[in-house]
Amino acid sequence: MDVIGVSFLDPLDDYELVHRIGSGTYGDVFKARNIKTSEMSAIKIVKLDPGDDITSIQQEITMMKECKHKNIVAYFGSYHRNTKLWICMEYCGGGSLQDIYQGKSDPVIVNAFRCTFGLHYLHETGKMHRDIKVPYQSMNALRH
Ligand SMILES: Nc1ncnc2c1ncn2[C@@H]1O[C@H](COP(=O)(O)OP(=O)(O)OP(=O)(O)O)[C@@H](O)[C@H]1O
């Protein structure tokens, strides 16, 4: 079973695991530090057993690799070592977009996010605002 486009080197030569962030469908996700650059990373570690269907995980890797944009989580690379697949990506410490959407985050973040809905409205109505400000008050659920 070969996952395409992964390294067979030891990921622990490049990354130091800091702590476990959580777990998802495929395995645990760890916060990690790049040993050379000190850059923080999130690493998904997936246990692969012989005969496992790797189609979905391969799709996830391919999708991450293809998406290169400053506002999309960056893909750093993957390793297949022993029976584990390590998928390394940019660490996003701000919580999930769903938390922000539901107003469960820092008021500045929630309100900055709310502003993007305002921008959408302005663009739809053909208007441009050149001095958007972020309010710092209510934590009501977002209106959109
Ligand atoms: N790049 C990241 N930076 C910070 N935390 C992350 C990152 N990717 C995942 N996490 C966190 O790790 C945990 C597991 O994420 P994972 O993507 O494996 O599963 P999920 O999104 O919770 O569910 P599913 O596997 O069904 O998509 C979640 O708490 C998630 O917020």
Q: ipTM of the predicted structure?
A: 0.94
pLDDT tens string 77-124: 999 999 999 999 999 988 888 888 888 888 888 888 888 888 999 999
Distance between alpha carbon 101 and the CA centroid of its chain, in Å? 16
Task: Output the furthest CA–CA distance in the chain (Å, rounded).
Answer: 57
Write out residues with Cβ below 6 Å of ligand 1: 21-25, 29, 42, 44, 73, 89-92, 96
Span 32-65, pLDDT tens digits: 999 999 999 999 999 999 888 889 999 999 999 9
Distance 24 CA to ligand 1 centre (A): 6
Binding residues: 44
pTM score above 0.80: yes
pLDDT tens digits, one per residue of 5-25: 799 999 999 999 999 999 988
> Annotated catalytic, 131?
yes
According to CATH, what is the number of the domain 6-93? 3.30.200.20
6 vs 78, 87, 96, 124, CA distance in Å? 5, 9, 27, 43
Which of 2, 49, 53, 131 is an active site residue? 131
For residue 44, give the nearest of 34, 33, 30 by alpha carbon.
30
Beta strand 27-34 pairing with 40-47: antiparallel
Domain assignments of the chain as residue spans, ordered by start: 6-93
